[in-house]
Amino acid sequence: MHEVARAAGVGKGTLFRGFGDRTGLLLTLQGDAEAEFREAYTSGPPPLGPGAPPRERLTAFGCALIERINDEEDLGAPLARQVPLERRHSSETARSFHHHNASLLREAGVAAGCVLRSGVRAPT
């Protein structure tokens, strides 16, 4: 945090007030890194975005995640790995991923009553 504050030209206290802790800063950075992807799967062109059948969208989502993990310039996954697991699973990004996939599973007729790995019940 000291190095980040120095590079930003602010005091450490300013960072802590803005982000709470190191993990809060990482989650904010991850959210920024995920914004373009979130836009693609929520309102971009099919098959990742709306307009394709749910199974095609789920496949496209999984393939896009794998591509992003292998893309050295994409900071989403490396930032997420720095966040403690319990906070990673409760993050805005994780909630968005879970909601998106649960909705598509429901549309495909697969998710009725299932509990996702995160412990969240899929919408019925």
Residue 4 in any domain: the answer is no
pLDDT at 114: 61
Q: Structure tokens of 86?
A: 């319990």
Number of domains comprising the chain: 1
- Is there a contact between 79 and 30 (Cβ–Cβ < 8 Å)? yes
* CA 16 to the chain's CA centroid: 23
Residue 61 placed within a domain: yes
- Residue 14 counted as domain residue: no
Per-residue pLDDT of the chain (124 residues), as tens digits, is: 889 889 999 999 998 999 999 999 999 999 999 999 999 999 999 999 999 999 999 999 999 999 999 999 999 999 999 999 999 989 999 999 999 999 999 999 885 556 655 555 555 5
Is residue 89 domain-resident?
Answer: yes
Decide: helix, strand or coil at residue 121.
strand
Give the burial class of 41: count Cβ atoms within 10 A of its Cβ; 0-12 exposed, 13-18 middle, 19 or more buried: buried
Confidence at residue 110, expressed as pLDDT on a 0 to 100 scale: 85
68 vs 52: CA distance, rounded Å: 21
pTM, 2 dp: 0.77
Residue 6 lies in a domain: no
Quick check: is 36 in a domain? Answer: yes
Quick check: is 5 in a domain?
Answer: no
Instruction: Let me know if residue 54 belongs to a domain.
Output: yes
Per-residue confidence (pLDDT) for residue 121, from 0 to 100: 58
Residue linked to tokens 């975005």: 49
Domain residues for the domain of 96 are 25-124
